[in-house]
Amino acid sequence: MENYLRQLVSIEFLDKKEVYTGFLIDYSDDWILLKNNPVDFIIDGFVILKNKNIERIYRDQDHEFTEKVIRLKGLKTNAKDIIPIKDLASIISFVDKKYGVFQIAKKSATSAYLGKLIQLNDQELIIDFLDTKGQFGGELSFNPEKIRVIEFDTDYINSLKLVAQENQNKH
């Protein structure tokens, strides 16, 4: 994986349909940090993937071209993008402090859950759920072992954070 650092790659999993594409920022035994490239020449936030059931990590001519365009647009990957990805607790506490709201997903990609941290221990991760209308809607609990994807600083998440802040300011 070392030879892919700071390059645009795609990651496929044995047990997940979607392919994740982004600039490989960092990796550990358990997690992979990408600057997310969801479509075309767009960079949108970060995605952290559990380093489990990976089928392949690859880079081809399309990746090289997309990377070239994104770099021409001014993207730089630098040290400020690096976050602690040693374990789930260090990831979640860093993201919570720096970004406030994050999205998590389990193996099945049918749903992802947005929210802010309430509590995390070995048995459960509890978030204050942020719905699609920017309303915090109560507690959701997850088994930390089941969390496979963490996303933050995306346009979607930041947009809902703005609505939530406006809603709180009204009250």
Domain ranges of the chain: 1-83, 87-171
* Fold (CATH) for 1-83: SH3 type barrels. (2.30.30)
pLDDT value, residue 15: 85
pLDDT value, residue 82: 74
How far, in Å, CA of 37 to CA of 57, rounded? Answer: 15
pTM of the model: 0.93
At which residue do the structure tokens 């070392």 appear?
2
How far, in Å, CA of 35 to CA of 119, rounded? Answer: 26
Question: CATH says 87-171 is which class?
Answer: mainly beta
pLDDT value, residue 81: 67
- Enter the tokens of residue 98: 């720096």
Dihedral angle at the C-alpha atoms of 55, 36, 135, 121, nearest 10 degrees? 50
Q: Which residues of the chain have pLDDT under 70?
A: 79, 81, 109, 171
